Amino acid sequence: MKIDELHRRSLEKANGYFRKDLEEALERYGAASASGSAITGTVNAVKMSARGRVDTLLVAPDLSAYGRFDPKTGETVLNEERQPGDSDLISLAVEETLLKGGKVFTAPEDRIPKDQGIAAILRY
């Protein structure tokens, strides 16, 4: 078997594996949303991920949202345009989720619930 063929087959297997996990996460989000244990929106995602409450974060690719987050007070300011001193709040939510043992999936924006570009399943 040539290396190109091996690469193609490996990629097909890996994509199938990750698609399955994403589909399961989207289904879990639907159930969590119905039971009140899911959130949408950047501000909510940042606050909940910083508190360690996010089990699974769903994010649209290339999504950015700029603002400031104060970890001591939980105050989150979301700006329409990047301002001096702003951080990418989406990256912050991803980092906090991963640091606290959560899972992160990228999904096409039309698959993210409520057209927010970011949604999460909460632990509790």
User: What number does CATH give the domain 3-122?
Assistant: 3.30.1330.30
Cα atoms found within 13 Å of the Cα of residue 114, Cβ hemisphere only: 13
- Mean pLDDT, 10 residues at a time, over the chain (124 residues)? 78 75 94 96 97 97 95 95 96 98 92 86 96
Q: How many helices (H) and strands (E) does the chain have?
A: 3, 7
Per-residue pLDDT, 10: 75
User: What are the respective helix, strand and coil percentages of the chain, to the nearest 5?
Assistant: 50, 25, 30
- Burial letters 13-30, b for 16+ CB under 10 A, else e: eeeeeeeeebeebbebbe
